[in-house]
Amino acid sequence: MAGLLCLLGLAINCVIMGPLALNAAYEGQNDFRQFYVGAKLAVSGNLYNFDRVLEAQREALGASNARMLPGRLPFYYAALAPLARLPYHLALAVWDGSTVLATALFVWLSPKTKRAPLAGACCWSLPLMFSTAIGQDVGFVLLILAFTLRTLASRRTLLAGLILSLCLIKFHLFLLLPLLFLGKREWRLASGFLLGSAALSLLSFVAGWDWPRAYVALNLRAISEDSRLMPTLHSLTAHLPARDAVELVLAVAVIGLVWRVVRRADFEVALGATLLGGLLLTRHAYMQDCGMLVGSLVTLFQRPGNVVVHNCALVLLLPMPYVLFFTQGGAPTAALFLLLLAAMAWSGAKNGSPLVFEPGR
């Protein structure tokens, strides 16, 4: 039955994405192109040179695309450099296989009681399947988070922090990690994270000594003002009067809600709150990035507690909210994220007791 449910979820997501999207994924007309070109330019000194990027795209892919620019830090492209030595379609096959394997390892590294629900959730997750189809790397983020939690469980906190620093591959989604370190007083975890981040930053200088300036310049050039497809506060407030002021107020509220959860819940739930908050605060996130919440949503669904938390987690594990991206944009999903975060912070507040997420409760 579990296997049939997984297959059903995969089939439904394939139908939602449609044959055109799946064919584009098969042909490699997706985001993997920027990883491939970035890997080719990683140590050339021209990784963030706009004209050189377009030239490299024409050389490697036969056409250039000014919207498909390297947006990640140099250390990541340096790590992907071996892929750039392969023909494009072979590199794409290796990439897709690696992201699927990373997702499978994410499930396998989780506690046995969560493996079956997580496997089902991954198959039903439209953002996660969409990430694979468009050549994105959310599967790697899930694997990093799973390794971090597994290492923490074995009380190797410094090593867990080093592993967690690999989340710099999508650093803009982890803006609130400092709240997790401070709220949980995880100083060794924070030390490991800072050491790993420093090492990765130093490694990034393989792209040249002036890469930070070039990185900022290129990505400012690539920023789109259209936030409709983003599940963020910026999207949620886009059509409101005084939208900048409202977004600022909501951002402060999100930080406060995350801090409350971090101080009162166990580590795994607190991590989920920081991920939710980071998604809401960033100015650059799309539907596929919601896939990194799969583990946290399964945790929230499995724990007894607030009925709003339970039901929001269930809804966000299903494809329905993400289908709205194609018609309504990311605002409805952002509203659900905000509701879930508020319910997590409010849970247990009525009588001043700790959150019901505490282990053993």
| pLDDT tens, residue by residue, 103-140 | 999 999 988 878 999 999 999 999 999 999 999 999 99
pLDDT score of 223: 60
pLDDT digit string, tens, across residues 302-338: 887 789 999 999 999 999 999 998 888 899 999 999 9
Q: Which residues contact 137 (CB under 8 A, 6 or more apart)?
A: 35, 99, 131, 169, 170
Q: Please check the confidence at residue 1 and state whether its pLDDT lies above 90.
A: no
Local structure of 230: helix, strand or coil = coil
For residues 146 and 105, is the Cβ–Cβ distance under 8 A? yes
Q: How much of the chain exceeds pLDDT 90, in percent?
A: 71
pLDDT score of 112: 82
Cα distance between residue 260 and residue 225, in whole Å? 32
| Tokens coding 104 | 């499978």
Cα distance between residue 209 and residue 29, in whole Å? 32
pLDDT score of 222: 59
pLDDT score of 225: 53
For residues 297 and 268, is the Cβ–Cβ distance under 8 A? no
Q: Please check the confidence at residue 163 and state whether its pLDDT lies above 60.
A: yes
Cα distance between residue 274 and residue 148, in whole Å? 15
- Helical packing angle, 294-302 and 138-153, nearest 10°: 50
Q: Please check the confidence at residue 353 and state whether its pLDDT lies above 60.
A: no
Helix (H) or strand (E) holding 42: none
pTM of the model: 0.91
Cα distance between residue 33 and residue 230, in whole Å? 21
Cα–chain center distance at 92? 20
Report long-range pairs for 119-122 (Cβ below 8 Å, ≥24 apart): 119/2, 119/6, 120/2, 120/5, 120/6, 120/9, 121/294, 121/297, 121/298, 121/317, 122/294
pLDDT band at 224 (very low <50, low <70, confident <90, very high): low
Return the ∠ at Cα 294 (arms to 302 and 258), rounded to 5°: 80
pLDDT digit string, tens, across residues 35-92: 999 999 998 888 999 999 999 999 998 888 888 888 899 999 999 999 999 999 999 9
Instruction: Find the Cα–Cα–Cα–Cα dihedral 14, 19, 24, 30, rounded to 10°.
Output: -30
Flag the least confident range among 116-130, 155-169, 196-210, 220-234: 220-234
Phi, psi for 335 (deg, rounded to 5): -65, -40
Q: Which among 208, 167, 168, 139 has a CA at the least distance from the CA of 73?
A: 168
Average pLDDT, stretch 2-22?
88
Q: Please check the confidence at residue 357 and state whether its pLDDT lies above 70.
A: no
